[in-house]
């Protein structure tokens, strides 16, 4: 239940939202909210319901049941108003291939009623910011995948949205395009733009998202900040150790109290535990007792990828 105080701040509110395709339930009674001015990551395996959720929120398909409110407007009862100040960048760029880069941009601005002077000024600014000015007169079909995705982002931003939906915006892109898109999105968010992003890139999500939701088999498995989610998966905390010259026998490492598992990658040992501090202390004592020497010793929290695997059933939950 979302209280009145959070309603004021939330830009998107989703309650019991579901979508079925025949007998298959793609999205199953999900609840979440996206607060104004945050980058909200929506993570999940292929087929988990990420794109279906975006398509419902942006009016492409109808929910089977449940409700969603975008900036105070119900997506079913007030579909036009709910889409009035949003923009969408789909995973597959759907630019007009036979139009120039500039004409693609101006057409989108015209469709959204952006005044002529403003759309020209903003269009030039966006092309310059996203490294497309030298492609201004090129046909869209001549662009690489990365440049087409940059053009899609330009076309979305020229409408001056208040909420931006990005569906796998950097999937399959060259490093330069992916980095530039992340940079532009982060800068726009700093200026107040609310962003809803789906991504398979765990590093990307951890770096730019204020909060993330993990969806699995159509249901929300977890929602929190990346840092809090990493802290919650305590069984994936570990002590990382590198020994000088010789390591203790593996059986002695496994016998340390509270160690649930040991992995070795070349010379780096990982001792998994819910109590990394005490395990690190006992490891030091064991090393001294055996007359050995530690070269490196660190306690580590799980990565967002570890969290993702944990909540999607692939990480030993």
Question: Cα separation of 189 and 206, whole Å?
Answer: 15
Which tens digit of pLDDT belongs to each residue from 182-194? 999 999 999 999 9
Element (H, E) at 18: strand 10-21
Which tens digit of pLDDT belongs to each residue from 216-262? 999 999 999 998 888 777 667 899 999 998 999 999 999 999 999 99
**Where among 196, 227, 258 does a domain terminate?**
227
- On whether both 140 and 9 belong to a single domain, the answer is yes
- On whether both 174 and 264 belong to a single domain, the answer is no
Range of the domain at 97: 4-227
Total number of domains constituting the chain: 2
Judge whether 308 lies within some domain: no
**Where among 197, 227, 257 does a domain terminate?**
227
For position 110, which CATH number holds?
3.40.50.300
**pTM, entire model:** 0.81
Other C-beta atoms closer than 10 Å to the C-beta of 317 total 12
Question: Cα separation of 46 and 162, whole Å?
Answer: 28
- On whether both 219 and 151 belong to a single domain, the answer is yes
Element (H, E) at 10: strand 10-21
Tell me whether residue 58 is exposed, middle or buried, using C-beta atoms within 10 angstroms of its C-beta: 0 to 12, 13 to 18, 19 or more.
buried
Q: Residue-wise pLDDT tens for the chain (317 aa)?
A: 344 344 447 899 999 999 999 999 999 999 999 999 999 999 988 889 999 999 999 999 999 999 999 999 999 999 999 998 999 998 877 889 999 999 999 999 998 889 999 999 999 999 999 999 999 999 999 999 899 999 999 999 999 999 999 998 888 888 888 899 999 999 999 999 999 999 888 888 988 999 999 999 999 999 999 988 887 776 678 999 999 989 999 999 999 999 999 999 889 999 999 899 999 999 999 999 999 999 999 998 888 888 888 888 755 44
- On whether both 12 and 131 belong to a single domain, the answer is yes
Q: Is 278 helix (H, G, I), strand (E, B) or coil?
A: helix
- On whether both 193 and 284 belong to a single domain, the answer is no
Judge whether 310 lies within some domain: no
**Where among 204, 227, 250 does a domain terminate?**
227
Question: Is-contact 154 130, C-beta < 8 A?
Answer: yes
- On whether both 67 and 173 belong to a single domain, the answer is yes
């Amino acid at each position: 239940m979302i209280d009145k105080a959070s309603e004021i701040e939330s830009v998107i509110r989703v309650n019991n939202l579901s979508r079925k395709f025949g007998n298959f339930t793609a999205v199953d009674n999900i609840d979440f909210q996206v607060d104004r001015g945050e980058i909200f990551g929506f993570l999940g395996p292929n087929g988990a319901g990420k794109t279906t959720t975006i398509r419902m929120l942006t009016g492409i398909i109808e929910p089977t049941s449940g409700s969603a409110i975008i900036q105070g407007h119900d997506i079913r009862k007030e579909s036009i108003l709910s889409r009035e100040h949003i923009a969408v960048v789909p995973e597959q760029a759907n630019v007009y291939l036979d139009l120039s880069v500039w004409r693609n941009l101006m057409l989108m601005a015209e469709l959204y009623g952006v005044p002529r002077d403003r759309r020209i000024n903003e269009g030039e600014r966006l092309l310059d910011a996203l490294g497309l000015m030298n492609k201004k007169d090129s046909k869209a079909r001549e662009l690489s995948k990365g440049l087409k995705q940059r053009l899609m982002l330009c076309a979305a931003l020229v409408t001056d949205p208040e909420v931006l939906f990005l569906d796998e915006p950097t999937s399959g892109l060259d490093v330069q395009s992916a980095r530039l898109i992340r940079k532009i999105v982060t800068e726009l968010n700093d200026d107040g733009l609310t962003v809803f992003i789906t991504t398979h890139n765990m590093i990307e999500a951890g770096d730019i998202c204020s909060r993330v939701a993990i969806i699995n088999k159509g249901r929300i498995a977890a929602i929190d900040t990346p840092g809090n989610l990493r802290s919650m998966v305590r069984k994936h905390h570990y002590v990382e150790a590198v020994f000088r010259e010789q390591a203790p026998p593996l059986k002695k490492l496994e016998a340390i109290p509270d160690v649930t598992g040991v992995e070795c990658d070349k010379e780096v040992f990982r001792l998994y535990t819910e109590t990394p501090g005490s395990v690190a202390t006992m490891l030091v004592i064991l090393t001294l007792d055996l007359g050995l020497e530690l070269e490196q010793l660190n306690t580590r929290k799980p990565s967002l990828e570890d969290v993702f695997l944990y909540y999607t059933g692939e990480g030993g939950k």
